[in-house]
Amino acid sequence: MGWPDVEMRELISRDRLQARISELGAQITEDYRGRELVLICVLKGSFLFTADLSRRIELPIEIDFLGVSSYGDSTSSSGVVQITSDLTHPIGGKEVLLVEDIVDTGLTMTYLLENLQTRRPNSVRICTLLYKNIEKNHHLTIDYCGFEIPPEFVVGYGLDYMQKYRNLDYIGVLTNPTP
Ligand code: 5GP
């Protein structure tokens, strides 16, 4: 059986991903020089993005992890955001950068922004690899964005379908998903 084992159309190649992540890393390095930056990896989807982005930031950053579940195993939003595992260190007085795989409805980021603000960080910004449905998200400020994409369900490079395909090194569209 070939790999991947389903029909997949490549949307963003490995090389384009890596080139854009290098640009984001350089920009973040400039913006946060001399400040205490904490990257918060929003699990599970942004584990690869955070790993690559963090290695392109040339500053002594901290990295923490926030487990969030918003979709269950479906390809559309359940509308319910749940923190499944919390940060291990306080963020009070620090500069926080939330690292997300994809913003769709903006619900997850809006919820996390409000939640993290109650912990009194100095600032909270959002860095997302992918931004879908921009017109739906006019209330949300995205500080760093890798790629704007059309409203299709994507997988790969951390993003799953039924918990699979996170280990692809590109972003693809499943051409025949079963809902
Ligand atoms: P939002 O709350 O902005 O609607 O959705 C954010 C979360 O939904 C993301 O962190 C991601 O886990 C999931 N999500 C949204 N769109 C997609 C998609 O096209 N593919 C996958 N695999 N997950 C998505």
Domain of 23: which CATH number?
3.40.50.2020
73 domain residue, yes or no: yes
35 found inside a domain: yes
Please indicate whether residue 178 or residue 170 has the higher confidence score (pLDDT). Answer: 170
Give pLDDT, residue 136: 73
Q: Between 14-32 and 47-54, two packed helices, what is the crossing angle to 10 degrees?
A: 60
Domain boundaries, position 64:
14-151
In DSSP terms, 147 is beta-bridged to 130
Share the mean pLDDT of the chain: 91
CA distance 121 to 93: 5
Best mutation site among 8, 41, 84, 104 for ligand 1 pocket (most ligand atoms within 8 Å of CB)? 104
Q: Tell me whether residue 86 is in a domain.
A: yes
161 within domain boundaries = no
Residue corresponding to tokens 């479906």: 74
Evaluate whether 76 touches 105 at the Cβ level (below 8 Å). Answer: no
Residue 61's pLDDT band (cuts 50, 70, 90): very high
Our answer on whether the CB atom of 110 is closer than 6 Å to any ligand 1 atom is no
The finding on whether 103 has its CB within 6 A of some atom of ligand 1 is yes
Q: Which of 101, 104, 143, 169 is catalytic?
A: 104
Residue 46 CA: nearest ligand 1 atom is 10
178 falls within a domain? no
Answer whether residue 33 is part of any domain.
Answer: yes
What's the 103 CA to ligand 1 centre distance in angstroms? 6
Mean pLDDT, residues 1-23:
93
Instruction: Look at residue 138 and give its three-state secondary structure.
Output: coil
Q: How far is CA 143 from CA 127, 146, 155, in A?
A: 6, 10, 23
Is residue 134 a part of any domain in this protein? Answer: yes
pLDDT digits (tens, 9 = 90+) for 67-126: 998 755 555 555 678 899 999 999 999 999 999 999 998 889 999 999 999 999 999 999
Q: Is 64 a catalytic residue?
A: no
104 within a domain of the structure (yes/no): yes
Task: Please state the domain count of the chain.
Answer: 1
